[in-house]
């Protein structure tokens, strides 16, 4: 019972004030890892992504947030985003509706809870509580929103979207057409054109990328 709670922290958070505070906390044992996704792992099921206000806004604008969220959902049953600071008062030129849209999207569509904290200290305190809940919870399993197997689809889509001129819609159609990501990546330009929305230009561009031998910059 006297065992400390284990919290696994991504190495990129090492220097953050939050982490310092966690280490000072006698109830916690902090371990650093290079996490492929998320910032704090509270249990096998619960993963926390911490976003300072400005970073949250930036990650919306450059699209990082969506990929991160997709990956969190693929790995953890209960991903949670902690928003640190006042997201509505960053200097960034983002519209209010975009911001609210993002928060709503997380909660309503993705089923990812958002916890607001006002400072690093508060974030650390929240993490302690959340950690206890995640590990000692109530013991019973909670039926969850996301299904696991389906999530490989998302990861596959994520990979395919890396191709030039390929967005969400084309990526989906390609995966449907070819069955797997590997078969998309091995397809010839002619085969690619079999996908609706993919014409000469796109198929050539993709082939060019795939077969490109790296050289001069």
Partner DNA sequence: ACTTCCGATCCTTGA
Partner DNA sequence: TCAAGGATCGGAAGT
Residues numbered 111-150 forming contacts with DNA, rule: CB under 7 A: 129, 132, 138-143, 147-148, 150
Q: Does residue 197 bind a second copy (CB under 8 A)? A: no
Taking the complex as a whole, how short is the minimal distance between the CB of residue 87 and a second copy, in angstroms?
9
Q: Where are the alpha helices (DSSP H) in the chain?
A: 17-24, 53-61, 64-75, 96-104, 120-136, 151-160, 168-178, 181-186, 189-192, 200-211
Quick check: 41 and 47 in contact, CB under 8 A? yes
Residue placing its CB nearer to DNA in the complex, 15 or 149? 149
Torsion sign, CA atoms 67, 37, 140, 136: negative
Residues numbered 137-196 forming contacts with a second copy, rule: CB under 8 A: 137-138, 141-165, 167-169, 175-176, 179-182, 185-186
Stretch that binds a second copy, among 3-11, 20-28, 56-64 (CB under 8 A): 56-64
Residues numbered 90-109 forming contacts with DNA, rule: CB under 7 A: 93-95, 97-98, 101-102, 104-105
Taking the complex as a whole, how short is the minimal distance between the CB of residue 157 and DNA, in angstroms?
10
Helices then strands, counting H and E runs in the chain, come out as 10, 6
Stretch that binds DNA, among 29-37, 40-48, 112-120, 199-207 (CB under 7 A): 199-207
Query: 62: which 2 tokens?
Result: 């450059």
Q: Does residue 46 bind a second copy (CB under 8 A)? A: yes
Residues numbered 27-86 forming contacts with DNA, rule: CB under 7 A: 60-61, 63, 66
Scanning the structure block, which residue is given the tokens 């922290």?
9
The alpha carbons of the chain give a radius of gyration, in whole angstroms, of: 21
Q: Does residue 93 bind a second copy (CB under 8 A)? A: no
Longest pairwise C-alpha distance within the chain: 66
């Amino acid at each position: 019972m006297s065992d400390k709670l284990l919290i696994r922290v991504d190495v990129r958070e090492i220097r953050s004030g939050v982490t310092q505070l966690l280490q000072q906390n006698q109830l916690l044992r902090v371990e650093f890892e290079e996490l492929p996704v998320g910032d704090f792992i509270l249990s096998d099921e619960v993963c926390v992504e911490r976003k300072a206000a400005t970073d949250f806004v930036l990650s919306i604008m450059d699209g990082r947030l969506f990929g991160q969220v997709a990956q969190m959902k693929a790995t953890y049953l209960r991903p949670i985003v902690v928003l640190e600071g006042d997201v509505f008062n960053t200097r960034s030129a983002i519209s209010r509706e975009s911001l609210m849209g993002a928060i709503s999207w997380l909660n309503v569509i993705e089923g990812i809870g958002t916890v607001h904290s006002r400072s690093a200290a508060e974030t650390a305190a929240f993490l302690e509580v959340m950690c206890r809940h995640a590990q000692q919870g109530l013991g019973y399993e909670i039926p969850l929103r996301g299904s696991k197997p389906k999530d490989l689809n998302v990861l596959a889509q994520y990979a395919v979207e890396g191709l030039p001129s390929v967005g969400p819609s084309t990526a989906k159609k390609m995966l449907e057409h070819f069955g797997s990501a590997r078969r998309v990546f091995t397809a010839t330009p002619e085969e690619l054109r079999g996908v609706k929305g993919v014409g000469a230009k796109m198929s050539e561009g993709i082939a060019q990328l795939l077969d490109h031998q790296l050289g001069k910059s």
